[in-house]
Amino acid sequence: MKHSVYSFWSNRAVPFAVSLAVLHVACAGDSGDAGNSEDTESGWGPLAVIESVGEGPNDARGGEGRLTITGECVTLELNGLDRAITLVWPDEQVSWDAIEEEIAFREPPSDEVRKFVDGDQIVVGGSGYTGGIPYLAKPDESCPGERFIVDSIITL
| pLDDT tens digits along 63-107 | 999 999 999 999 999 999 999 999 999 999 999 999 999 999 998
Cα–Cα separations (whole angstroms), residue 8 to 12, 14, 45, 47: 6, 9, 44, 49
| pLDDT tens digits along 129-149 | 988 899 999 999 999 999 999
End-to-end CA distance of the chain: 78
| pLDDT tens digits along 107-118 | 888 889 999 999
pTM of the entire structure?
A: 0.72
